[in-house]
Amino acid sequence: MNMLTGLDISGFKSIKQISGMELRPLNVLIGANGAGKSNLISFFKMLNWMLPSPGNLQLYIGRVGGANILLHDGAAVTPQITAQLSFATGQGVNEYRFRLLHAAGDTLVFADEAFRFIPNGRKDRDWVSLGAGHREAHLIERTEQGDPTARFIHTLLRRCVVYQFHNTSETARVRQRWSIDDNGLLKDDAANLAPVLLRIKQQSSPHYTRIVSTIRQIAPFFADFELVPSGGTVLLQWREQGSDMLFSAHQASDGTLRVMALVTLLLQPNANLPDLIILDEPELGLHPFAINVIAGLLKSAATNTQVFLSTQSMTLIDYFEPEDIIVVDRLDRDSTFRRLNSTQLDTWLDDYSLAELWEKNVIGGRPA
């Protein structure tokens, strides 16, 4: 599978510098509140805004309150954000880098942007520069011009998706009718959950059956989805065991909606999976048994796609190996990221679980 293997970031929020972070198929961030877990995830969220055509970097900067919010300790201390991402594929390594500089109006402009492809068997290759001084990513423009390498790298970056199913309010998009044709990649807030489920049901019955049976494990009252198109749209509806009533998303609990979204995301056909699934606290509002099921799905999904998640759940981390865990600590004003090593914890793990070691502050990731 395509995999993010290298990530260097400097100057972004609490991340003064990350260099040479080891990335694996499954990456689980743990740490105290404010340590920087969500800041790393929000870097990928910025990419999600920055790279769709025609690009919405300036809109994203405005939405978060200006560039000063994004720069490490503000523009007076850190005037720029730099980043480089490396993706390993079957043919070689694809890389993208950029440098965003603070500019008038409390915004960011590109001071550097470049990409390259290093085929297998080659040690290095020149970068293709995309210039400087622009306000939106020129990788988009280069892609639209038909450059095959730019197009492939752009696709890799677009398929690093931050999913956050926290918004389950009455106005949440997942509770509304959605276009039946918008049924490809599941949206970051599960807005198109109903059309995605309908497409899976019509095109991949075994996957749909697994989704339904897994939801029944967590919510035994659940019978099956009722996905009836109307006027080119479809609404998330279902039936329950022992009842002839039809239930809609407006009647669902927050936890039930999150379970439906998570299970669909992780059990959909492999061809529809993003290359990198990024989840911020997927355990929010879930029963311990539901967390158990979701942990199994996360480990299974990581055999087909790369998974990156942050969690505060002691229940959840006990389902993973030490090498899956990245401990995030805050040293003064800087976030640090350290992957656990089972060899160094051998003696402890004979008597304690990972969650207990976290609680006892043996592995870090606790308030200092």
So where are the chain's domains? 1-159+321-368
Which residues, other chains included, contact 223 with Cβ-Cβ below 8 Å and sequence gap of 6+? 216, 238, 239, 240, 241
Q: Would you say residue 22 has pLDDT above 90?
A: no
Find out whether 139 and 150 touch, Cβ atoms under 8 Å. yes
Return d(Cα 250, Cα 263) in angstroms, integer. 19
pLDDT tens-digit profile of 256-284?
Answer: 999 999 999 999 999 999 999 999 999 99
Which fold, 1-159+321-368?
Rossmann fold (3.40.50)
Q: Is 65 left (phi over 0), alpha (psi -120 to 50) or beta?
A: left
Q: Would you say residue 88 has pLDDT above 90?
A: yes
pLDDT, mean over the chain: 95
pLDDT mean over 198-215: 97
Position 308 scores a pLDDT of: 96
Residue 221 pLDDT class (50, 70, 90 cuts): very high
pTM: 0.93
Q: Which of 139, 149, 92 is nearest to 116 (CA)?
A: 149
